[in-house]
Structures are given as structure tokens and as C-alpha cells.
Amino acid sequence: MMRKTDFAFWTFLLMTVLAGATTVLNVSRTYSATSPNTELYKQLDLFGDVLERVRSDYVEKPDDTKLIESAINGMLSALDPHSAYLSRKNFRDMQVQTRGEFGGLGIEVTMENQVVKVVAPIDDTPAAKAGVQANDLITHLDDEQIVGLSLEEAVEKMRGPVNTPIKLTVVRKGVDEPIEIKIVRDVIRINAVKPRIEGDIAYVKVTTFNEQTHVNLVKSIEEMKSKIGSKLKGYIIDLRNNPGGLLDQAIAVSDDFLERGAIVITKGRNNEETQRSQARPGDVADGMKIIVLINGGSASASEIVAGALQDHERATIIGTRSFGKGSVQTIIPLGANGAIRLTTARYYTPRNRSIQAKGIDPDIIIEQELPEDLKGKLGVKPRGEASLRGHLRNGDTEEEISGSSAYVPQEPEKDTQLQFALNYLRGKVTAPPPKAEQAEQKKAETQTDSSK
């Protein structure tokens, strides 16, 4: 059995490696009372004692790797909701997400009644070319049943090296027998930018900030600009329910619409860690009017873009208060041991506003009415950083405000925020008065009615 001193030494060595140290330190159980790290060493001994006791006395033989990973993750998650340990698999998954491309089939899937259901095949991908259809139910992969697997497990099986084959067995409505579809995996690119033309307005939905976002956004705007021509009245950048992503992509997207000035300021623990990102000349929208849509699901990188364009008065922000995640996470690789995601800075808008646990307030507040069948359900309740346990406090003020609803109707005609934005750009509506002014007006009307 490993001795307590061995555990203490090993634990401290592990912590030293995680901190990026380049020297190996010898640790003894005899501590100097004047050492500034005495208490830390004692706590590491405590960790070693507990770990030894768990390994020797727990009712079942524990997995040492899982014990250590859980301990590391517990340490990081205790800091704030966004710091975490990433296992090798989770690190790979995160890299796929941020790169925006992977080896796979090209289908969007969901889980319905414990069965993997195709939401839609992505255009010009192996799945679309092979004939996979929306609402197909996938029951087997390479003749192996996947009913009962989690969605993540099923997706992991469908992804794989480019040019490798896979066979899907699907059940399709209106077809009596299951259908076998053979597909060869290819490079699938996640297009985070979904443009469409709304008559005389160019609309762009940005779903995340991965490595492809800036390039695809510029390309989409140029194409729509060319198609609409001289009738173009402006742009709508829809960041609702966009959870964020890469900081450099948020900076690049903001820069796409700004000619000069600061975009975002990041401040670490020490003053010398403060960094300021500046815009370069060039506006892809040629100075035309821009509306940015946000809601309670707009977080992090989305808030950087909204805050930068708002502070420079380059865009009108419409919707409801954003999520309020004003912190920056750095991914620190640990070689074969995965990585850690560590909060290393807070970010501030160009006017030095911290939105941590506060969010971005729209210039024009437009609430989206919830359908009766969704009212009171957990998934559509207001969302915000301030509601997360252990969140970082706002360093500038004690005032913290919860987020807002993240509900967006699938049908554009039922989308109150989008319809207002379209009419606002066309000059058909004007901004409603602030809520406080509305309340005073309603109070005055009530007093007038009672006096009659």
C-alpha cells in the first residue's frame, strides 16, 4: 500500500504540473512554521489521507483515474461555473466544436423517446446525398442497435475518420420495412452563420463563434448585398440563444462592422494582464443600419459583439437582457491528460462596462410572448449568469440582475422581436418609450379614468 508521504508528494507534484511549473519540488512532512505554503502542504496531506482511505476501505474497488479526475474537476468547478477539467475525450470534442469541422455524416439529430431522430440532413453532405431524410429514426449503426444509448454516445459512433464507411438502419414514416443506408464519412463543416434575405433586409443568424464564423459571416453578407442590390435597407444580426465561443472570433465579427476604436478590454488578476483589442478600418455593411437581436440565451462572445456595437452606436440592440457571462476562459492543454478550462480574465465593453452577472441591456426592449403550453416550463424560464451557483461577482458594482427568457419561435411570422426589427429598419415603427416611462403613462391614464 502506498504511504501517506508518497500520496502527499504525488498530489503536490500533480498540482505543480497543472500550474505549469517547470521544476520538481521535494516535499517533506516536516514543515517550517514560517513557510507561506505551510497550510497548503497540510491540505495536500489531508487530500492524500482521504485518497488513501477511499482506495483501501471503499465498499467497491474504485477507479484511481476517475478519483483523481473527479478531484481535479471538483477543485476547478469550485472556482466558478465555467472552469473545469476536460478529459482527453472532452478536450477532443471541444476542439471539434471550436474548429467547426469534423469527420462525420452531416446530419442534425435529437433524442425522442430514447430513439435518435434526424432533425435534418445538412445540404451537400454524405447523409443528404445518400438520401437520409428529416424525421428518420436511426435504430442501428453497422447492424449494432443504438436504441437506449445517450445522444452523445450515438453521435460519437457516427463520427469517425474521413473516407470510412458506415451503415445506418432507419425507420421512416410511411415505409413498412427498415431502410439500410450506406454512407462514407467526409469532412463536415459546421456553418455557424445562417443567412436569408427578408425582402429588402439582409438577415444573418449566428449560432456560435467557432473558427469559421467570421469568414462565413463576411461571405454571407457580401452575397446578400449583391442579390438585394440598391433596395437594401439594412442588416439584422441575430445573436439570440448564441452561447458564445472563441474570443478572437467575437473580436473579428465586431471588427467587421467597426472602423475604429476599442472592441473589448480584458482584465486579468494583475494590471499588467490588461489587454485592449482595437478595430481596423473597413465596414462590411458600408455604414448601413444594423440591428442586433439578443435575449437571455445570448452569452459571452455574443455579448462582446453586442456591447461593442452598442458602445460605438454602430447598431441598435433589440430584444431582452443578455445572459451576463463577462468572463474569459483559457484552455490549458495537459498533454495526454486532456486540458483544463480556467477563467483567467473578465472582459469589459469599449466604455469599460463589466456585464458580468448583469448582461447587456437592449436599446429597445421587446418581449417575446410565450405560448400557453410553454408557460412555467423549466426550459423557457429566464436565464442569467447571476442565477448560477458560484458565479463570479461583478467587480464594478454589487448590483446583479438575472437574465431574461431565451424563447424564440420557429416560425418567423410569430417572432415578435424579429418582426419589430424588420419594421424598425423599414421605418414602419419607432422605438417604444422606456418601461419606466410606460409605467408613468399608464399610471396617469388610470388616474384620469378614475376622475371621470
3-state secondary structure of 93: helix
Question: Which residue, among 206, 172, 213, has the nearest Cα to 189 in the 3D structure?
Answer: 213
Taking the C-alpha atoms of residue 253 and residue 301, their distance in angstroms, rounded to an integer, is 10
Please say whether the beta carbons of 370 and 405 come within 8 A.
Answer: yes
Question: Which residue, among 414, 335, 327, has the nearest Cα to 369 in the 3D structure?
Answer: 414
Would the CA dihedral through 11, 15, 20, 26 be positive or negative?
A: negative
Question: Which residue, among 425, 310, 305, 409, has the nearest Cα to 367 in the 3D structure?
Answer: 409
Burial tier of 208 (Cβ tally within 10 Å: 0-12, 13-18, 19+): buried
Instruction: Provide the annotated active-site residues.
Output: 300, 311, 325
What angle is formed at CA 417 by the lines to CA 433 and CA 412, rounded to 5 degrees? 155
Taking the C-alpha atoms of residue 355 and residue 395, their distance in angstroms, rounded to an integer, is 10
Sequential DSSP letters for 37-68: THHHHHHHHHHHHHHHHHHHHSSS---HHHHH
Length in residues, the chain: 452
Taking the C-alpha atoms of residue 44 and residue 5, their distance in angstroms, rounded to an integer, is 10
85: which 3 cell numbers? Answer: 477539467
What angle is formed at CA 68 by the lines to CA 8 and CA 80, rounded to 5 degrees? 105
Taking the C-alpha atoms of residue 393 and residue 221, their distance in angstroms, rounded to an integer, is 38
Query: What ranges in 380-434 are assigned the alpha helix state H?
Result: 416-425
Question: Which residue, among 38, 17, 18, has the nearest Cα to 27 in the 3D structure?
Answer: 38
